[in-house]
Structure 1
């Protein structure tokens, strides 16, 4: 007979996941012991599979800097201000309509399929890579900061939530149009405060639409590597803008925290954050991000998932792609500690709650994907059964991400100050 878990063994499972501290406080964040900086550099901790496949944090190259905010003083000349009043210049609208290169999100409703017409209220300027030797676009083709901000608002409020188009197609469209927003911004002499406002809204929108893409949707409709690159470029542009400012921007702490959460487990990202001014690091959004990063590095899964439950919506979007890997590590730790030749069991609802899964079915899928046997509503830990093949099964992330909107629209989250957005309660 397989051994059944008694009530006290739930406490044992919680202790295995790091939920019970023995002589070590976990209420405050501390610098991870596994991370050491010195003259010889940083010692790299294990990264998630996504980090192995794609560089999660890197400084952009020279070609990528063309899409970052530009400092007029560095160029030796004064850059013009944009004069285009529309989301897409009329000349580009006419050209793309003539060449039949309009996206279906940009055409007039009810238009004929063989001759689509551009809707000026929906057409958004597409990204065009600056070519060597090509002259700068005239001010009439550049959108000033107020128009750029209105463009981001439109993408967040009217496009991001479209139900008649797949999330992958929406993300691909929005990422391209936001890249054009960053390029327009870089070609003008824009004040750092105005530039930061536009870049923050653009990055928040991009994080949200990318988080809504399911892995099975990316085939053909969107390139996940390109989307990740666009997010990293967005962080690079914004953080360079912050570095040029003389004083912290109102939402700087929140977006520096988003940077760390998106690059969770990256030594380079943590080092960048630890080099920020102490007053900025003391802000609650950054303190929370540092606590999440510490729990992730230290494999304190109980604290990690308690913290993940409390994150606001944007922070949850930023950390979403690390959740599957964290769940896998937690399940592997339980398997190593509890597996016996006869098999010990643990209730599936314990797995569901501890790993913040969306229902018992997700708990079953997770256990079965790792070779574990199920006995009704319990998972059986038999020695030698646990296995890891491929990526962890994708979840719906409703508890940890989707539910965090709490009645707000994405436009509210993108455009509002961070402190005005609903925050869940503090972790226990």
Structure 2
């Protein structure tokens, strides 16, 4: 309500006691919130594991009292718990983890919006929440998105999270320490979007000059140009969070590169190309994945382990085959926990600005005559 002062959150727990009691009575506790070894009926909530669930504000419904709102330090501790404990839970499927984490992070953003919080405090919470959401979504396998997880809803939540954070950046004075990295994440998540590129190019020149944002702009340019060699070479250099953000575009970029190779190389008798070259060019996880990708697009692989580009054989049906992306994403953790990545400063992750593209750039190993094709 205009002119009405926002309250300051006072709830010290990840989930208000009143909500825990209500959800216990209504049997609406998630199994990740239950007290371990407690066979009670109804099941009992563990105050150290229960996390406030998202509740859509209804028209005419009064605002929650301060006792039901978690202040920024508690919200940050909640995000840290979701990233450090829930996201790494060995007893839950990736789909179950994503569903739980996404809902609870949505509640975090709601609590933040309903109270008086400084932009600096809000920024730290929103950055950690967005980083956690990107990471857990990136862990979904091809079977997970066909189950209880709605990929459209997840995408909407990620975009809403970017919107909340970027509005917070716009309101604040000066540049936040991780702003360039998260503006880059926004562009990487929205590769090919004219609107996203326009918004990033409108940022101050000093921000666009930061290595993380320069790298994101270079990747977006390579994606638009269909320069697979440069695109996947840059993706190999990305830190973990940036790799999570761009993962959704990898399959389509690989398909586009394969289609371009097919147009350039296909002959009536068949032009062979070593699978090792395809693995390197498209940053695949190995020859087996390269073989599956080629065969899924109608391209045979001979006994010598070469993909054969026969004229008229290339085909596209449905979405590109899903990939585990161990090379491009999974390997980037390098022994760190997700909590460490989510809470760390991006400058510590060694993002390097890309070198200027030189004419004739091509990946190793080289195959004669392909520099202009890819």
Instruction: Check if 1:313 corresponds to 2:240.
Output: yes
Deviations 1:112-154 (A, max 9, x none): 2753210000000000000000110000000000000000000
Q: Distance in 1 between matches of 2:46 and 2:203?
A: 45
Q: Distance in 2 between matches of 1:114 and 1:77?
A: 43
Q: Which residue of 2 aligns with 1:126?
A: 53
Q: Which of 384, 388, 409 is the aligned partner of 2:337? A: 409
- 3-state secondary structure, aligned to 1:373: coil
Deviations 1:301-329 (A, max 9, x none): 10000000000000000000100000000
Q: Distance in 2 between matches of 1:349 and 1:328?
A: 17
Q: Which residue of 2 aligns with 1:418?
A: 346
- Map 1:282-321 → 2, pairs under 5 A: 282-321=209-248
Q: Distance in 2 between matches of 1:254 and 1:205?
A: 15
Question: What TM-score does the superposition give when structure 2 sets the normalisation length?
Answer: 0.93
Q: Which residue of 2 aligns with 1:275?
A: 202
Deviations 1:40-79 (A, max 9, x none): xxxxxxxxxxxxxxxxxxxxxxxxxxxxxxxxxx932321
Q: Which residue of 2 aligns with 1:102?
A: 29
The unaligned stretches of length 5 or more in structure 2 are 356-362, 364-374
Q: Which of 181, 188, 212 is the aligned partner of 2:139? A: 212
The structure, 1 or 2, with the larger RCO (C-alpha pairs under 8 Å, 6+ apart) is 1
Q: Which of 376, 387, 393 is the aligned partner of 2:321? A: 393
Q: Which residue of 2 aligns with 1:40?
A: none
Deviations 1:186-241 (A, max 9, x none): 01110001100000000000000001011211233211111100000000000000
- Map 1:344-359 → 2, pairs under 5 A: 344-359=271-286
- 3-state secondary structure, aligned to 1:119: coil
CA offset at residue 265 of structure 1? 0.4
Q: Which residue of 2 aligns with 1:266?
A: 193
Query: Does the C-alpha gap of structure 1 residues 86 and 329 become closer, same or farther in structure 2, counting only changes over 3 Å?
Result: same
- 3-state secondary structure, aligned to 2:32: coil
Q: Which residue of 1 aligns with 2:156?
A: 229
Query: Does the C-alpha gap of structure 1 residues 251 and 75 become closer, same or farther in structure 2, counting only changes over 3 Å?
Result: farther
- 3-state secondary structure, aligned to 1:297: helix
Q: Which residue of 2 aligns with 1:374?
A: 301
| Maintained 8 Å contact 1:310/1:425 | no
Q: Distance in 2 between matches of 1:287 and 1:417?
A: 17
Q: Which residue of 1 aligns with 2:287?
A: 360
CA offset at residue 422 of structure 1? 5.3
| Maintained 8 Å contact 2:211/2:353 | no
Q: Distance in 1 between matches of 2:147 and 2:21?
A: 27
Q: Distance in 2 between matches of 1:242 and 1:93?
A: 34
Q: Distance in 2 between matches of 1:223 and 1:161?
A: 21
Q: Which residue of 2 aligns with 1:342?
A: 269
Q: Distance in 2 between matches of 1:354 and 1:107?
A: 47
Q: Which of 326, 331, 339 is the aligned partner of 2:258? A: 331
Question: What TM-score does the superposition give when structure 1 sets the normalisation length?
Answer: 0.81
Query: Does the C-alpha gap of structure 1 residues 113 and 218 become closer, same or farther in structure 2, counting only changes over 3 Å?
Result: farther
Query: Does the C-alpha gap of structure 1 residues 373 and 172 become closer, same or farther in structure 2, counting only changes over 3 Å?
Result: same
Query: Does the C-alpha gap of structure 1 residues 385 and 213 become closer, same or farther in structure 2, counting only changes over 3 Å?
Result: same
- 3-state secondary structure, aligned to 1:362: helix
Instruction: Check if 1:169 corresponds to 2:72.
Output: no
| Maintained 8 Å contact 2:212/2:352 | no
- 3-state secondary structure, aligned to 1:105: helix
CA offset at residue 423 of structure 1? 5.2
CA offset at residue 424 of structure 1? 8.1
- 3-state secondary structure, aligned to 1:375: coil
Instruction: Check if 1:188 corresponds to 2:112.
Output: no
RMSD: 1.4
- 3-state secondary structure, aligned to 1:218: helix
| Maintained 8 Å contact 2:24/2:45 | yes
Query: Does the C-alpha gap of structure 1 residues 313 and 424 become closer, same or farther in structure 2, counting only changes over 3 Å?
Result: farther
Q: Distance in 1 between matches of 2:240 and 2:120?
A: 24
Q: Which of 79, 85, 90 is the aligned partner of 1:152? A: 79
